[in-house]
Structure 1
Amino acid sequence: MSCEACERMQLGDTAQPHGGLRMTGHPHRLRPLGRRPVLLQRYCCRLCNTNWLLELDPLQPEYADWVCLYQASSILDPVSAAHQGTRASSILPGARTDAARGATSEQLRHSLT
């Protein structure tokens, strides 16, 4: 459950940080394929422990992107998708599609080509 300030950040058109956020760790420089390098900085809310990720383009610092991770520690953590109640949260671990059920890795590899 997010605090009021974090909910305002999530619902606002432009997320403005609030005073309850504290920086965690050191900034990381990341270079996504085909894009300029960006700086990533993690934040955590002192009130509700919601984790945030700030993506900052050093050439355009006025266009900061705030990503809410909810209780997840990483953007890749499935907890963030489950918290949102998205369709991904209903997928069971280890569940396979009918096409993949019982197929070997060699059969699956050939079905993709």
Structure 2
Amino acid sequence: MAGLKRYEAEHFWLTTVRLPPHAPDLNPVEALWSLVRRAMANTVFGTPDDLDRVLRRELRGIQLQPHLIDGCLTGTGLAMTHSPPQAPPAAAPRYGMALGLVSVARPRAPSPYER
């Protein structure tokens, strides 16, 4: 966690929102696992390699269907925002790629050399 705190400190304009640790309804991965479990229900695997093969196939199938991933994200109520990287005006909001996080540009303190 030290790396994240350092990153936040180095990027003063970034505001992070921490989600509760035990909130599966806010975690889109839980919905993805639900899709995998449903596809693999009542399956008997002869070897661990069989399990690995089917699991990879199911995950790849989800990866190739972006609408499933979008549905899992939408189900959380969280938003993913993105805008091309560019320097924001001094007090304007800055939105970056985030999952449930919004970054806000805060006005910086004027330098004593700026007058």
Sort the TM-score into its range (normalised by shorter chain).
under 0.3
TM-score (norm 2): 0.28
Work out which structure has the larger RCO, using CA pairs closer than 8 Å and 6 or more positions apart in sequence: 2
TM-score by length of 1: 0.28
Q: In terms of Rg, which structure is larger?
A: 2
Q: Which has the higher helix share?
A: 2
